[in-house]
Amino acid sequence: MNVIAWLICVAVCALTLFRSSRYRARVVLTSAIVAIIGGMLLVVILGLVLREMQVRLSHSFLTVLFQGLMSIVTIAMLNIMNLAVRGMIAAQTSFHTRYNAANLRRFPVSFVIDQADRIRLLGTTFWASASLVMFYGIWFHMTV
């Protein structure tokens, strides 16, 4: 079961990372924050309801519950980091276009401006690849 959950989390994370570029930054940031807060509220409400019903939870159920919550938080945080990388590239490009027009054809500046799409794709690919290791740790080495 852990392998399937790990693969699903990696696929969902990669999908959200590569599709988030289609949406405005405010939408991505708001949805990430809502996912983090919503996941935590879900766990708290579920715990309170089960405590009120006097249900004793098994150790494996609690572990899977926290692994799911950590997966949601990880996906949201990676989307926020991907948004930050995209913002930094956009800020550099707009700054040099506006205030450094005389040096737009010089090497470091021209590379960033000409290859901005590839740099963004590289950043997104980095976060998607990093999610492999993060979710591996969550689903195979996390115990509560």
pLDDT category at 122 given cuts 50, 70, 90 is: very high
Q: Considering only CA atoms, which of 69, 87, 74 is closest in space to residue 26?
A: 87
Identify the pLDDT of residue 103.
78
- Using DSSP's 3-state secondary structure scheme, residue 9 falls into helix
Identify the pLDDT of residue 141.
84
For 5-34, b/e burial (b = at least 16 CB within 10 A) is bbeebbeebbebbeebeeeeeeebbebbee
Q: How far apart are CA 37 and CA 27, in angstroms?
A: 15
Residue 70 near residue 36, CB atoms below 8 Å: no
Give the global pTM. Answer: 0.83
Is 90 exceeded by the pLDDT of residue 5?
no
Q: Which residues contact 55 (CB under 8 A, 6 or more apart)?
A: none
**What are the pLDDT digits (tens) for 58-104?**
888 888 888 888 999 999 999 999 999 999 999 988 888 888 888 77
Residue 84 near residue 126, CB atoms below 8 Å: no
Is 80 exceeded by the pLDDT of residue 144?
no
pLDDT category at 15 given cuts 50, 70, 90 is: confident
Residue 54 near residue 113, CB atoms below 8 Å: no
Q: What is the mean pLDDT of residues 16-35?
A: 87
Q: What is the mean pLDDT of residues 25-49?
A: 89
Q: Which residue has the higher pLDDT, 69 or 57?
A: 69
Residue 85 near residue 122, CB atoms below 8 Å: no
